[in-house]
Chain A
Amino acid sequence: MTAMPRALLKRLASRLLMLAAVAFAGGFVAAAMVRYSPGFDSIPEDLDPQISPATLRALHEQHERANSLPVFYARYLARAVRGDLGVSQNLRQPVSDLLRRRGPVTLRLMLMGTAGGWVLAGILAWIAVWSRRAVVKTAASSVNGLLLAIPPAVLALAFFFSEAPLSLALALALLPRIFGTLRALLEDFYASPALLAARARGISPGVIATRYILGAGAPQLVALSGVTLVLAFGAAIPIETLCGVPGVGALALQAAIARDMPLLCGLGLAITVFVTAVQTASL
């Protein structure tokens, strides 16, 4: 085995280890939140007037012993590995079923929004760097600045009421986050002697962009794509909630308002694993 694949494998193993550690820690936080959520320590016998205080105390002690944090976490983790994330207190449905139904809706919005954001940011960055006219450069930067100043939730409302696609609102919310990195990458390349040589040889801008710029900046672009997906999920929460999209984001807010800890923690664990997996894949 050559040195390169060995280094790659080592890096991959370390990333997978990190993914497992983060999932383990995320699961612990989730389990602790469910375990210590208000009402967890109450038992049905609390409402029975025929049970004596001593018996009730003994039952509570038994409940506490059976649900101590390590025991509870071990059970929670064992169930989570099998895909059982508990039952929503508010919706009375298994959390994994809710995730299965709502997940694709959010994922579709995220993917379309992210793709749109990349395309729009790419075009804007290209204009800002390639144009020789100061007015055009300033206009491109101003569009970016303006979008950075608008809360994603307001963008979502504007698109919702004008019946425009919500994925475009998400794309515009993500655009400023991508634009800065893309512009810096293009500026670096624009100032490099390699580009000057390519242009002097008459290579077309299209070939320069696809073969040289994308090739040279691939590691940064792949890393940025992972970060963009995380940002897309964050921006999707207000968009889904305000515009009535039945996705995971809206479900999270519903769970928070109803203090539905099993649902919130199941979502937290699933999102942590998803985000860490995306980050691992993009690094």
Chain B
Amino acid sequence: MKKAAVALLIAVALCALLAPAIAPYDYSRQFRESPNAPAGRQFLMGTDDLGRDRFSRLIYATRFSILLAPAAAAVSILVALLASAISVFRARWAEQGLSGLTTLSMSLPWIFLFIMLRAMLPLNTRPAVSILVTFGLMGIAGWAWPARIFTASIRQMADSGWLLQARASGVSPRRIALVHAWPHLRAVAGAQFRALLPAYILSEASLGLLGLGVAEPLPSWGNLLAELQHPDRVTDNPWILAPLGLLMAVMICLEAMA
């Protein structure tokens, strides 16, 4: 089961990486003479209402969604790790301040936090910027939970005898962090990363459906799912469900791996 999940994820990641070679057309190319075309030899999954090839858009959407979600998770882990390390090693008040800040962040449902942050951005945000903003904000908004876990782990480490001995022996903070502390935190970071990754993929999908995610004409799983708001089209062209199917397959694979 696990091997099959890994194989499928590798296949999807390869498709995403090789998108320009696999996709028959550019994701934004419009075939204005054939909007809402059915699936056929020219358009494997048909076209959307702007005449864009669904298959090409799905391949590129996979590229954006599957490559940027890990980046967002990495941002969350990095922010959480830095904040926790600084707060634990600086002063007691800093640790308490961080604890209050995580409580405040966790008091707001993340989607509401995201809505608030997104509302502060200008209306004329370019599509390329929107993709970075979407995943960047997700990365920043999701820092609180990993920060709690890291703070507890780093606090435990800071009180340990081996760290005291390393500091007493004059080992530089950089060496302590990279050579001694990081191997202890790596497993925690890995677990947090694996927990955040599916959450971010789902979050992007929900945001895309609400129109707050990646801006058109850039494709993402979220904005492709927006077509599901027209159920009459689904009966005409069931390939509209393909992004949902792929999203669910990836999510199930990630769960199987976890």
Q: Which A residues contact B (CB, under 8 angstroms)?
A: 18, 21-22, 25-26, 29, 33, 37, 145-146, 148-154, 157, 161, 230-231, 233-234, 237-238, 241-242, 252-253, 255-257, 259, 261, 264-265, 267-268, 271-272, 275-276, 279
12 CB contacts below 8 A, A to B, read: A22-B100, A25-B104, A33-B120, A37-B120, A230-B107, A255-B119, A256-B116, A257-B119, A257-B211, A264-B119, A275-B107, A276-B107
Query: Bound state CA distance, A253 and B210, in angstroms?
Result: 8
In contact, B229 and A149 (Cβ under 8 angstroms): no
Q: Which B residues contact A (CB, under 8 angstroms)?
A: 100, 103-104, 107-112, 115-116, 118-120, 123, 198, 202, 205-206, 209-212, 225, 228-229, 231, 244, 247-248, 251-252, 255-256
In contact, A272 and B119 (Cβ under 8 angstroms): no
Collect the chain B residues with CB atoms within 8 Å of residue A25's CB: 100, 104
In contact, B119 and A261 (Cβ under 8 angstroms): yes
Query: Bound state CA distance, A148 and B116, in angstroms?
Result: 26
Given contacts A25-B100, A157-B228, contact A149 B108 (CB under 8 A): no
In contact, A18 and B115 (Cβ under 8 angstroms): no
Query: Bound state CA distance, A33 and B117, in angstroms?
Result: 10
Collect the chain A residues with CB atoms within 8 Å of residue B244's CB: 150, 154
- Write the chain A residue with the least CB distance to B250: A149
In contact, A149 and B116 (Cβ under 8 angstroms): no
In contact, B104 and A256 (Cβ under 8 angstroms): no
In contact, B116 and A153 (Cβ under 8 angstroms): no
In contact, B104 and A26 (Cβ under 8 angstroms): yes
Query: Bound state CA distance, A265 and B117, in angstroms?
Result: 11
In contact, B109 and A271 (Cβ under 8 angstroms): yes
Query: Bound state CA distance, A257 and B248, in angstroms?
Result: 29
CB distance from B200 to the nearest CB of A (A): 12
- Supply 13 further A-B pairs (C-beta < 8 A) apart from A22-B104, A272-B108: A18-B103, A22-B100, A149-B251, A150-B244, A152-B206, A153-B205, A157-B209, A234-B109, A238-B206, A242-B229, A264-B116, A275-B107, A275-B109
Given contacts A25-B100, A154-B205, contact A238 B111 (CB under 8 A): yes
Contact among B109, B206, B225, B256 for A231, CB-based, below 8 A: B109
Given contacts A149-B247, A154-B228, A238-B210, contact A272 B107 (CB under 8 A): yes
